[in-house]
Amino acid sequence: MAVRETPGFRTALAAAVAGGLLLAGPAAPGVTKAAAAASSTGTSSGKTLRVAMDGSGVDTLNPFTSFFNGALDIFGSIYPTLTSIDDSGAPKPYLATSWTLSDDHLTWTFKLRDGLKWSDGKPLTAADAAWTLHLIMTNDVAATANGTLVAGFDTVTAPDATTLVIKTKKPKSNVTYSSIPFSGIPIVPKHIWESQVAGLKDFKNDSFPVVGYGPWILTDYKNGQYAKLDANKSFVLGAPKYDHLIEQIYKETDAAVAALKSGQLDYISGVNATEYASLQHVDGVQTAQAVGHGWVGLELNPGAKTRTGKPIGTGNPALHDPVLRRAIALSIDKKTLVTKVLNGQGQVAEGYLPPAWPQWSWQPAPGKKQSYDPVAANKLLDDAGYKRGPGGTRTDPKTGKPLNLRLGIHSDDSADAAISRYLVGWLKVVGINAKIQAMSMSALNSDLGKGNWDMLMDAWTTGPDPTYQLGIQSCSTLPKDDGTGGNTDSFFCDPAYDKLFAKQATLFDPAERAKAVGQMQEILYEADVDLMFYNATTKIAASSKVGGLITGKPNADGFYPAQQTFWSYLKATPASAGASASSSGGGSTGLWLGIAGAVIVLGAGVAVVRRRAGADDRE
Amino acid sequence: MSSRPALAEPQTAEAAGTQAKARTGRRPLRLPRPGYLVSKLAAAVVSFAVTLVIGFSLFNLMPADPVRTMTRGRPVSEAELLRLRVQLGLDKPVWERFLDFVNDTLHGNLGYSWEYQQSVASLTMDRLGPTLLLMGTSFAISVVLGLWLGLRSGWRAGSLFDRITSATALTLWSVPTFWLGMILLIVFSVGVGPFHGFLPTAGMSDPTLPQTGMTHYLDVAKHLILPALTMVLVVYAQYVTIMRSSIIEEIGSPYLLTARAKGLMDAAVRRKHALPNALLPSVTMIFMHLGTLISGAVTVEAIFSWPGLGDLTFAALKIPDLPLLQGTFIVFSASVIIMNLLADLAYRFLDPRVRDQ
């Protein structure tokens, strides 16, 4: 009566596996080859560059209301801007070939290229640029994402098709940064958008192909999946070498790395240190590091207050003391963080602005550098009366309470977790007890704005114009007494800093402006409110079949200049035509024949099992 | 239903009498009493109302600053932040937002996503298809595979087949989904040693291929293999273990001895008599599983960049995009409540003992 199905099942299974392998085996290499070919050589018509979209994805394709980097990358590819940015971060021609400033520093005149056409064939003129900027100046919805970039603009006019005149209310040194790829204002076609102004908030801009002008034309976008673009072969700054660009969404960079290894992807910007190390010796993959355009650091609550000086929040009052803040600064070994947390893939940070934009870089004067020195930190605290209590924790001489400080970190950031463990140890050495509180970014932001924090891990990335980044340290960004209206980054407030902030906005000589910006960074550095730890490099991995993706020359550390996707995608060059060029269709056929074969054999195996079972039952 | 006598093999004398009637087919199919239906529906409505309150409280009371998080890294002035707060309704007191939320829900309006700047309903509909495809496929395979293996294992508990099946299922059940998914991705997409990877790493279609027609369907199927396989491997064990333990409980029952004494083949005894009775606990699990289908599988969707609802909800949590979270929460909750209701009703049809209570 027993059903002896096991031997039969095993036989059938073995047959299925063997059969499947026999059939699928020959098919697999063909498919792999085809997949790799589809990656860098692509579809039936032309060559396709496949890149991993920025992890933030696309919130909306409406450039007036979009905040996410994935969308900004696309706008940089499909809409023109007045200027572009060179390797040093300085503005250079794009739509505008030249620009002049009036003697009173209030009127900018841009000369625009003649004869350009939107992708639907309509002429692209200064009127489009004037209309776009004017709309942002006068319409709240249009100002949602980029309103700050036209702050201080008085009028914008287009006297003729190739002249754009911007008049500002006060001298404004960063006008040439207002409309740059990615972080500036994209110019949109007036004839398409003027009919959308009434419903601008709800306009999705998803009629493909999207009418624009740039190196690429957006032909398709699937929410949560990919954006598909075709090359604009008549692009004025040079035709893309590829025919198509696909920005694929990867929720996990580990998966993107796997795709790169398998030849299904050509370019990833922003792999982490571990992934980068794993890719350095993989055949067919090239890697590079570009200097960082952001910083990671620690903010110390210097005493959160409103614009009128009313204290708010639950920050530990001990941190009001600059001596304590300096002692904390001296107790942190930034070099170890770069070595251990970043695997050496970055540089120790001192200045507030990152090395990606060298014109604003600042370093402390000799003898002013706050190097790791726990002995000096302890001495500072001893001299200031911070006595050690039981367990070695010091007490605040003003309140008599032990120095127990909260350390807020991002719960989803492995670097924060690693750094915080070092911090707790280093702070303990100088008698400070830090308690780690892991929170979501949103919760951290909420606490930050209310002043409910002692120490917070923070990170920022900055575009080539430092105005906004410098601005969030000014007194004017403190909240009002009712708690609203604040946009401060750390409740730092110093009138001397604010004075320099106002001054740099009126300096038109780049060297003079850089000097003022450097002085501002020095004030921040000496205040020990934003302790810069490091500037991590941007780690790039790409198929070795693609050339030209990485621009510039490496510095002494081997780091390339900051990479801009606008130029990277434009300059990317495919492998020679003979390298690989099979279509994916044949490969897929092979795969499916293999799978079909395996299914048939498996089905036969199951049938055998069932027959055996039936036979046993009949016994 | 009355033509399926094996669904209610008697285990007690009282039940035997009931089943005898059922087996003969003389007992007419009875619809649930109106009172029963009303009470179940009322319970479902109450559950839904409570869920609304919990959902709103959960998302609105957690500390967060959606506006600062959403605009992070962008040059947005304090005036623009304030305008955005007003535009999103964050300037209103919580109670007022709750009333708006209840009012919108009652009018079938799921809200407007802050992050994606479109209606939650349209976003949900966009992601529903991929979610149901992935979850439905893996669910169907898990149920069939799990029940089949559980039935075979339980019928001959302790055999080599049982030991292998149970050990494999429990091992896979214990494996972290993320780890398993990444291993499958590396093996089948990248390749290991001489074995070349041949499956896609991400998404549900290849943008370089046509997005319509048979080529597209085959392409989607190809993209579905790894995420569905991952889901099946971590889920099917539930059905194996439940069915296995159910069948072991049934295996010594007198009615099976009776069936064998009548001369029925072993396979027939198992399939026609043991299986229907052992199936009832699995039915509960199937309906519970059905209710959670549309919430997707966050981990699997993340690994394989599958554009599903789980991924959408997870992304919304980071901001947090409250309307989107609340909207998807309503949809997920309603799905579970409806499936539970259907499970209650289905039990009445599947098991005459419940029907007669």
Percent of residues, chain A, with pLDDT higher than 70: 86
Q: CB distance B203–A249 less than 8 Å?
A: yes
Strand A455-461 vs strand A294-300: parallel, antiparallel, or unpaired? antiparallel
B150 domain-assigned:
yes
B88 touches chain A (CB under 8 A): no
Question: For residue A476, how many other CB atoms are within 10 A of its CB?
Answer: 16
- The angle formed by the CA atoms of residues A497, A503 and A507, to the nearest 5 degrees, is 140
Residues of B in contact with A260 (CB under 8 A): none
Q: Is the pLDDT of residue A413 over 50?
A: yes
CATH number at residue B256: 1.10.3720.10
Residues of B in contact with A9 (CB under 8 A): 161
Residues of B in contact with A148 (CB under 8 A): 75-77, 80
Q: CB distance A588–B218 less than 8 Å?
A: yes
10-residue stretch averages of pLDDT, chain B, 357 residues long: 34 40 46 77 92 88 85 83 87 90 89 92 93 95 96 94 95 94 95 91 93 94 97 94 93 88 88 87 85 82 93 88 92 89 81 69
Strand A226-231 vs strand A216-222: parallel, antiparallel, or unpaired? antiparallel
* pLDDT value of position A19: 37
Number of folded domains in chain B? 1
**What letter would DSSP give residue A113?**
P
Residues of A in contact with B66 (CB under 8 A): 442
Cα(B174)–Cα(A557) distance, rounded to whole angstroms?
A: 45
B317 domain-assigned:
yes
* Nearest-CA distance B320 → chain A (Å): 7
B73 touches chain A (CB under 8 A): yes
Q: Which of B2, B44, B39, B42 is nearest to B23 (CA)?
A: B2
B128 touches chain A (CB under 8 A): no
Q: CB distance B127–A201 less than 8 Å?
A: no
Q: Is the pLDDT of residue A21 over 80?
A: no
E strands, A197-284, in order: 216-222, 226-231, 244-248, 267-269
Return the residue of A nearest to B91 by Cα. A484
User: Measuring CA to CA, how many Å separate A175 from each of A198, A529, B248?
Assistant: 28, 30, 78
Q: CB distance A43–B209 less than 8 Å?
A: yes
Q: Is A619 helix (H, G, I), strand (E, B) or coil?
A: coil
Cα(B283)–Cα(B144) distance, rounded to whole angstroms?
A: 12
* pLDDT value of position B32: 63
Contact between A516 and A96 under an 8 Å Cβ cutoff? The reply is no
User: Measuring CA to CA, how many Å separate B149 from each of A590, A615, B174?
Assistant: 31, 20, 18
Residue B149: give the domain boundaries: 123-355
Cα(A329)–Cα(A165) distance, rounded to whole angstroms?
A: 48
Q: CB distance B301–A251 less than 8 Å?
A: yes
Q: CB distance A225–B207 less than 8 Å?
A: yes
Contacts of A393 (CB under 8 A, 6+ apart): A402, A403, A404, A431, A432, A433
Strand A404-410 vs strand A433-439: parallel, antiparallel, or unpaired? parallel
| Range scoring the smallest mean pLDDT among A170-179, A191-200, A449-458, B68-77 | B68-77
B165 domain-assigned:
yes
Q: CB distance B198–A449 less than 8 Å?
A: no
Can you state the angle between helices A495-504 and A510-527, rounded to 10 degrees? 160
Percent of residues, chain A, with pLDDT higher than 90: 77
Residues of B in contact with A228 (CB under 8 A): 207
Q: CB distance A223–B116 less than 8 Å?
A: yes
Residues of A in contact with B265 (CB under 8 A): 617-618
pLDDT tens, position by position, A588-615: 444 544 555 555 556 655 555 555 544 4
Q: Is A309 exposed, middle or buried (0-12, 13-18, 19+ CB in 10 A)?
A: exposed
Please state the separation of Cα A410 from the chain's center in Å.
Answer: 17
Q: CB distance A223–B126 less than 8 Å?
A: yes
Contact between A543 and A266 under an 8 Å Cβ cutoff? The reply is yes
Q: CB distance A38–B206 less than 8 Å?
A: yes
Cα distance between the two ends of chain B: 18
Q: Which of A452, A418, A424, A473 is nearest to A296 (CA)?
A: A418
* Nearest-CA distance B306 → chain A (Å): 8
pLDDT tens, position by position, A302-354: 999 999 999 999 999 999 999 999 999 999 999 999 999 999 999 999 999 99
Query: Using CB atoms, which residue from A28, A144, A255 is nearest to B185?
Result: A255
B24 domain-assigned:
no
Cα(A321)–Cα(A339) distance, rounded to whole angstroms?
A: 31
* pLDDT value of position A605: 55
What tokens were used for A366? 């000799």
Cα(A396)–Cα(A399) distance, rounded to whole angstroms?
A: 6
Provide the chain B residues 193-222 that lie in CB contact (below 8 A) with chain A.
195-198, 200-209, 211, 215, 218-219, 222
B185 touches chain A (CB under 8 A): yes
B266 touches chain A (CB under 8 A): yes
Return the residue of A nearest to B303 by Cα. A252
B179 touches chain A (CB under 8 A): no
Q: CB distance B267–A613 less than 8 Å?
A: yes
Question: For residue B4, how many other CB atoms are within 10 A of its CB?
Answer: 14
Residues of A in contact with B207 (CB under 8 A): 220, 222, 225-226, 228, 246, 248
* pLDDT value of position A220: 96
Q: CB distance B201–A255 less than 8 Å?
A: yes
Query: Using CB atoms, which residue from A69, A143, A226 is nearest to B203?
Result: A226
Return the residue of A nearest to B267 by Cα. A617
Return the residue of A nearest to B321 by Cα. A442
Task: Label residue A458 by pLDDT band (50, 70, 90).
Answer: very high
Place of tokens 């109450």: B46
- The angle formed by the CA atoms of residues A303, A308 and A309, to the nearest 5 degrees, is 25
Query: Using CB atoms, which residue from B78, B115, B186 is nearest to A487?
Result: B78
B83 touches chain A (CB under 8 A): yes
Q: CB distance B206–A62 less than 8 Å?
A: no
Query: Using CB atoms, which residue from B190, B209, B267 is nearest to A261?
Result: B190
Q: CB distance B80–A147 less than 8 Å?
A: yes
Q: Is the pLDDT of residue A223 over 80?
A: yes
B181 domain-assigned:
yes
Contact between A248 and B200 under an 8 Å Cβ cutoff? The reply is no
* Nearest-CA distance A429 → chain B (Å): 33
B301 domain-assigned:
yes
Q: Is the pLDDT of residue A40 over 50?
A: no
pLDDT tens, position by position, A361-394: 999 999 999 999 999 999 999 999 999 998 999 9
Place of tokens 């003729």: A160
B35 touches chain A (CB under 8 A): no
B306 domain-assigned:
yes
Return the residue of B nearest to A30 by Cα. B198
Which of A306-310's residues contact partners 24+ apart within 8 Å by CB, and which partners?
Answer: A306/A478, A306/A479, A306/A480, A306/A481, A306/A483, A307/A475, A307/A476, A307/A478, A307/A479, A307/A480, A307/A481, A308/A481, A310/A481
Cα(A284)–Cα(A37) distance, rounded to whole angstroms?
A: 13
Contacts of A183 (CB under 8 A, 6+ apart): A72, A463, A464, A465, B75
pLDDT tens, position by position, A544-583: 999 998 888 999 999 999 999 999 999 999 976 433 323 3
Q: Which of A328, A312, A521 is nearest to A426 (CA)?
A: A328
B50 domain-assigned:
no
User: Measuring CA to CA, how many Å separate A23 from each of A20, A26, A593, B199?
Assistant: 5, 6, 7, 16
* Nearest-CA distance B346 → chain A (Å): 31
Q: Is the pLDDT of residue A584 over 80?
A: no
Residue B71 phi/psi, 5-degree rounding, is: -100, 5
Task: Tell me: cis bond preceding A215? Omega within 30 of 0 counts.
Answer: no
* pLDDT value of position B318: 85
Can you state the angle between helices A414-429 and A374-383, rounded to 10 degrees? 60
Q: CB distance A69–B73 less than 8 Å?
A: yes
Max avg pLDDT among A22-26, A107-111, B329-333: A107-111
- The angle formed by the CA atoms of residues A95, A99 and A100, to the nearest 5 degrees, is 165
Residues of A in contact with B208 (CB under 8 A): 38, 42-43, 48, 244, 246, 584
Residues shown for chain B: 357
Contact between A519 and A239 under an 8 Å Cβ cutoff? The reply is no
DSSP string, A438-478: EE-HHHHHHHHHHT--SEEEEEEE--S--HHHHHTTSGGGS
Q: CB distance A140–B83 less than 8 Å?
A: yes
Cα(A272)–Cα(A278) distance, rounded to whole angstroms?
A: 10
pLDDT tens, position by position, A500-551: 999 999 999 999 999 999 999 999 999 999 999 999 999 999 999 999 988 8
Q: Which of A300, A352, A336, A353 is nearest to A419 (CA)?
A: A336
* pLDDT value of position B76: 85
**Residue of B78, B120, B204, B229 for testing the chain A interface, max A β-carbons within 10 Å:** B78
Q: CB distance A442–B73 less than 8 Å?
A: no
Q: CB distance B65–A449 less than 8 Å?
A: yes
Beta bridge partners of A40: none
* Nearest-CA distance B26 → chain A (Å): 32
Residues of B in contact with A485 (CB under 8 A): 78-79, 81-82
* pLDDT value of position A302: 97
